[in-house]
Amino acid sequence: MAGEEREPALDRLKRLPTDLRLILEKRASLFLIETGERLSAVSGRFAVAMVLGAFAGLGILFLLFALAFWMSDVLNSHAAGFFFVGGLMLILGFLAALIVPPHVERWVRASVVKALVDPDPARITPPESESHPASPTDG
């Protein structure tokens, strides 16, 4: 009986390195899959933000052109109107360059780290077609 009890224990000890390697491989592949999901979610949000930013930028550009043409009517000179708006934008740009970067850098860093390291997998939602299978209609 003592030999029969030792045999399964010896077999388990022999399988231990291969089982440990298999567990580590599974953990590594799971980590890669989760990282890929998080990166795809972050890049999707980034792409949407870029498109919205492009539309907002075009809107601001058209508003600035309208302001420049209005100022050129007020000042009776196209050059003076555009010079006024250009100078205003230059001043606002310098003020933004002095004030905003440290705050924006911290905010961007914190939001990227939170999006990549957030342990809550419920934040990563699959596309609608995968998360809600089509149900048959009642009518």
pLDDT in tens, 91-138: 999 998 888 777 777 887 887 777 767 656 555 554 454 444 454 454
The pLDDT tens digits of the residues spanning 38-51 come to 888 888 888 898 99
More confidently predicted of 42 and 74: 74
The answer to the question of residue 133 being in a domain is no
Q: Quickly state the pLDDT bin for 53 (edges 50, 70, 90).
A: very high
What number is the average pLDDT over the span 63-92? Answer: 94
The answer to the question of residue 82 being in a domain is yes
The answer to the question of residue 114 being in a domain is yes
The answer to the question of residue 138 being in a domain is no
The answer to the question of residue 135 being in a domain is no
Q: What is the pTM of this model?
A: 0.55
The answer to the question of residue 125 being in a domain is no
The answer to the question of residue 123 being in a domain is no
Domain count, the chain: 1
The answer to the question of residue 126 being in a domain is no
Name the residue range of residue 19's domain.
2-118
Q: From the centroid of its chain, how far is CA 1?
A: 62
3-state secondary structure the chain: CHHHHHHHHHHHHHHHHHHHHHHHHHHHHHHHHHHHHHHHHHHHHHHHHHHHHHHHHHHHHHHHHHHHHHHHHHHCCHHHHHHHHHHHHHHHHHHHHHHCHHHHHHHHHHHHHHHHHCCCHHHCCCCHHHHCCCCCCCC
